[in-house]
Structure 1
């Protein structure tokens, strides 16, 4: 039987490092694994990233599996370790086919393949169909949307629309192939209500075109699971793995609206008693829908607000305004759902004045939590190509709390100073301090919160 192993590549840090990052379920490779298993292919997963395996330890496990194919999912921060891993695999077994995919590969496929001679095939975009065609020995030149090597040359095939229209046809993710599931996967403290808690993805693609956002894998075409799939999946996780809380990572959970309404109705009909949260756009729901979501367990919604300045919102192509944000946050908070707001500081066009507008917006809207980070010019997105007109690109590395871009009217020192002011101004509010102190009374949350606080202090204020 043909065998494949999916790899979430190793981190640079070890588990005993003082600062640990929080761990998400690698849903992409879990869903791909479910498709290969359905096709009768012997499938394994090595989540080296969340198991804190070294490259040596990862190689040892790959050798033990003796697979015919190795598929590595790559984001930019893990490219170097993925290249080292591929080279080591090639040295101990030249016959293994090494397939790479994921956000980094889809964004810059040619350079990814040129820079690492040990990658055999790069899969662009949604990979479910491509993986099966490659394993089944379909002629590579007839598989759309891949890059492969032939006679020491790179061949890129024409991109085809191979998107899965009905995601309900994809089996449940292969959670059972994840060592330590679900307890290994620790969410960010502000993103779960009870533990065990895991992240789920029930939609692919986004209908909007924010100029800073990466859509290299799923693009603007939207496909999604129906409530008839989503609710049984939640029940399965609750029954088999004792999962108590779900965080939906769909880009815009409340689109289409009818799906969200039917999902809530199905939760009521099936009497599923679980807490859950999601993320969406501020302009895609209202008080009525929020109240329905609250009724069936939704306790928090995260919104990508990004800035309090209409000027910056326009540069980011957010298609929302400051006044819309103020009005909508008020409506959502009235429903009883917590509002978690994402903000970016240091975007192209940012000035001291626009930063002050963001500070004012935070004070006016009173979100229940915020996530603030610096602008990162991601490769191959619209704003990355124009960023140098607005300032200086320092790095493309998407590391939390790292200045990667400096707008013309600001300095790195000024950005860091304003970052700390916003953070301290928000988290030292009595209502925020009281909320987090209250969470410490919950033994299940105490360790997550303690680790989160230490991580935050060490990174944000270094």
Structure 2
């Protein structure tokens, strides 16, 4: 029997599991479908035994992974030496939004475009609808406009219970699409702005199967949890019913809905989060500067953000917030306004990231138009942290993480080990973003 191996780097993403489930159902009795997440010698041997290898890549950094490129090159060379097997290697996942870069950087047979439920089986059967590939040095892109119904079942690996993604064993998808228009996000471009939701009975059936496989802690993803079954207004009853149903299966202490927009919460939603989950929300605040929020097209402002935080606290829900530093055009006053916001908000936790120019987003175009000497992720920091040889973005990232610790409801002591942890995190992010920025400059002609 033939084999298809799906590689999802470091963690089993929901998208990779869904594609695995679709292929298992479609090619029952024809292919053995295997889903793996760690690169090692055993996995390399599995690649060599496969007829098709699908790399499900969710980060631009995967395209720059030299180890992964070496393995692809090795598999292709071994395949050419063997007359009995021609191993096909495809890339799928969120990076398929920019196939021009993938095909130039990685020696694969093609990029499976868009949402994989329809395009992946087509490609396996030898069709080219939903595939991007190189032909005589020219990139051919055959996009599929059709959007799948969210009714497919995931292929759940036996060791799913051993993985840990921000405290959860798995993030499940209840819907696709986003009503927002944030410049740094690729979700609306990849999934569209119309909300498509999975039927509740199928979600609950999946949760039961995950539990049977050893999953204890489940997180609901989808960008903004409360948009589940969204129509013209927030369908609160559907979202609340969703949380109640999942909690009945895994227990409220084992369910989280971390990602929420501040403009799609109210007392009923927060009350359900308190009752049926671990009792946390995680808002994408991004900045304390209304000027930067407007530039990001967040659709919110400082006042709305503070109101949503206060509303959560009044409903006894813990609040985390994410912030972006180094956004093009961010002045020192904008950054100081973000620090002031954190003082006023007293968040229970914060996450800080340096602005990442995901290819083909509006932020990517803005970064390409910004000279590198003006880019804060390349510009040397000359302030209080200059002895650490940081860029301005890295310094702001470090400073904001330290600042957030000191302005929690229960401030924590900044030990030397914690300082070094945050310093190394800021440096790692800076290096990653510089590498991605160099990549998009290399291909700016096909991105703009």
Q: State the TM-score, normalizing by the size of structure 1.
A: 0.78
In 2 relative to 1, CA 387–430 (structure 1 residues): closer, same or farther, beyond 3 Å? closer
Is the Cα contact below 8 Å between 2:156 and 2:210 reproduced in 1? no
Deviation of the 1:151 alpha carbon:
5.5
Distance 1:381 1:387 in 2: 10
Is the Cα contact below 8 Å between 1:59 and 1:88 reproduced in 2? no
2:69 to 69, 83, 88: 83
Residue matched to 1:229: 202
Consecutive aligned runs of 4 or more in structure 1 exceeding 6 Å deviation: 268-271, 407-411, 434-437, 451-454
In 2 relative to 1, CA 306–208 (structure 1 residues): closer, same or farther, beyond 3 Å? same
Is the Cα contact below 8 Å between 1:244 and 1:274 reproduced in 2? no
Residue 8 in 1 paired to residue 1 in 2? no
Residue matched to 2:144: 160
Q: Deviations over 1:62-120 (max 9, x none)?
A: 22xx22111112232121444322211111113111111222232x212322344x311
In 2 relative to 1, CA 154–417 (structure 1 residues): closer, same or farther, beyond 3 Å? closer
> What stretches of structure 1 of length at least 5 have no aligned partner?
10-22, 396-402, 438-450
Distance 2:132 2:325 in 1: 36
Distance 1:460 1:154 in 2: 37
Residue matched to 1:43: 33
Q: Deviations over 1:301-321 (max 9, x none)?
A: 111110011000000000101
Residue 288 in 1 paired to residue 268 in 2? yes
Residue matched to 1:243: 215
Aligned pairs for 1:224-373 (under 5 A) are 224-238=197-211, 240-255=212-227, 256=230, 257-258=234-235, 259-267=238-246, 272-278=251-257, 279-373=259-353
Residue matched to 2:446: none
Aligned pairs for 1:44-123 (under 5 A) are 44-48=34-38, 53-54=39-40, 56-63=41-48, 66-74=49-57, 75-79=59-63, 80=65, 81-94=67-80, 95-106=86-97, 108-116=98-106, 118-123=107-112
Residue matched to 1:448: none
Q: Secondary structure of the residue that 1:25 maps to in structure 2?
A: coil
Q: Secondary structure of the residue that 1:161 maps to in structure 2?
A: coil
Q: State the TM-score, normalizing by the size of structure 2.
A: 0.80
Is the Cα contact below 8 Å between 2:347 and 2:409 reproduced in 1? no
Deviation of the 1:345 alpha carbon:
1.0
Aligned pairs for 1:18-33 (under 5 A) are 24-33=11-20
Residue matched to 2:124: 135
Residue 426 in 1 paired to residue 404 in 2? yes
Residue matched to 1:400: none
Distance 1:393 1:373 in 2: 20
In 2 relative to 1, CA 310–217 (structure 1 residues): closer, same or farther, beyond 3 Å? same
Is the Cα contact below 8 Å between 1:212 and 1:381 reproduced in 2? yes
Distance 2:250 2:103 in 1: 49
In 2 relative to 1, CA 457–231 (structure 1 residues): closer, same or farther, beyond 3 Å? farther
Deviation of the 1:201 alpha carbon:
2.3
Distance 1:318 1:224 in 2: 23
In 2 relative to 1, CA 416–147 (structure 1 residues): closer, same or farther, beyond 3 Å? closer
Residue 176 in 1 paired to residue 157 in 2? yes
Is the Cα contact below 8 Å between 1:349 and 1:390 reproduced in 2? no
Distance 1:60 1:219 in 2: 38
| Alignment RMSD | 3.2
Is the Cα contact below 8 Å between 2:18 and 2:155 reproduced in 1? yes
In 2 relative to 1, CA 426–96 (structure 1 residues): closer, same or farther, beyond 3 Å? same
Q: Which has the higher contact order (CA 8 A, sep 6+)?
A: 1
In 2 relative to 1, CA 393–182 (structure 1 residues): closer, same or farther, beyond 3 Å? farther
Deviation of the 1:126 alpha carbon:
0.7
Distance 2:322 2:133 in 1: 39
2:185 to 213, 231, 237: 213
Is the Cα contact below 8 Å between 2:377 and 2:392 reproduced in 1? no
